[in-house]
Amino acid sequence: MSTDAAKDAAPADGHGGGHGDGSTAILAALGANLGIAVAKFVAFLVTGASSMLAEAIHSVADSGNQVLLLVGGRRAQREATRQHQFGFGRDRYIYSFIVAIVLFSVGGLFAVYEGVHKLQHPEALSSPIWAIGVLVIALGLEGFSLRTAVRETAAVKSPDDSYWAFIRHARAPELPVVLLEDTAALLGLVFALVGVGLTVLTGNGVFDGLGTIAIGLLLIVVAVILGMETKSLLVGEAATPEDQRKIVAALEDGGMSLIHMRTLHLGPEELLVAAKIAVEHDDTAATVARAIDDAEVRIRTAVPIARVIYLEPDLRRETGPAPSEASAVPRP
């Protein structure tokens, strides 16, 4: 027996692991990166520092990534269609995966290429004060962007979780993406500042090239982490253990006996719940239907993002559920 949860479920409220879309953090990062990109390009044209060019391309890539996150969030809000009956919530995962690809190719690989080229043809910098000044200003702007992302993350993550745990376990991709990008941007600016500073002190352009390569390798590592985490979301992740326990408790609070359950995120704020529940041999269809309706209400009260719920009545076999099924449900 099933329910068309899309029609009567309450709107998602971000419950269940912090599913905020991070719009404020994305806009803050976009504004900072656009301004920084222009300043870095000017500094590169004046100084010829390859690390400044790598950082400028990095900021352009980050700006494009923030636009992709905003587009993904907008497209994910489209209504379900006959062809896509569970809606478009996973568009947010797809666009986040594209962000990882852009960061890897446009940011990381380009920086490594530019750094190797600089090592092969090292040049002294002209007007290095421009590069240093822009990098210091960029550090301040990126710090503001990261602070915004940290503040938004702190509002939705569990107090017991570290920020790394939040990045690993969050079902909404935007805030983890912005956190990683801003952290990489700050570290990249430090690498660029060290490379430019050593080049100025020694007059050897090799240090500028080494700083550029370090920026590229950093971006590649961040892109790989983003790609792996977003791939897991695209393949399909279950509800958080906390939400699974709440669903089990909501079922059992009404006297139901759970045989097994499966959950799947259709999007960051939309959860599919499929469970097989035990009924007695002499229960009537009306009794079972009423019990299932009541259970759906309890589940949505406990976990508001449980928007699509399918509960199947069955007789419990004496042998019990298979080990894999029994172990799939965290107990309260």
8 Å CB contact between 65 and 59: no
- What CATH number is given for 18-235 in this structure? 1.20.1510.10
- Homologous superfamily of 241-326 in CATH? Cation efflux protein, cytoplasmic domain (3.30.70.1350)
Angle at 176 between CA 194 and CA 235, to 5 degrees: 125
Q: Nearest-CA neighbor of 12 among 158, 150, 156, 154?
A: 156
Q: With b meaning 16 or more CB within 10 Å and e meaning fewer, what string describes 188-225?
A: bbbbbbbbbbbbbeeeebebbbbbbbbbbebbbebbeb
Domain boundaries, the chain: 18-235, 241-326
* Lowest mean pLDDT segment, chosen from 52-56, 106-110, 135-139, 325-329: 325-329
pTM of this prediction exceeds 0.85: no
Put the strands of the sheet holding 270-278 in their side by side order. Answer: 257-267, 270-278, 306-314
- What does the pLDDT read at residue 296? 94
* Lowest mean pLDDT segment, chosen from 9-23, 123-137, 311-325: 9-23
Task: Dump pLDDT digits (tens) for 198-221.
Answer: 988 888 888 988 998 998 999 999
Q: In whole angstroms, what is the distance from residue 152 CA to residue 25 CA?
A: 7
Neighbouring-strand partners of residue 264: 272
Q: pLDDT averaged over the chain?
A: 83
Q: In whole angstroms, what is the distance from residue 211 CA to residue 24 CA?
A: 31
Please name the amino acid found at residue 178: V
Average pLDDT over residues 117-130: 80
- What's the pLDDT band for 331 if we cut at 50, 70, 90? low
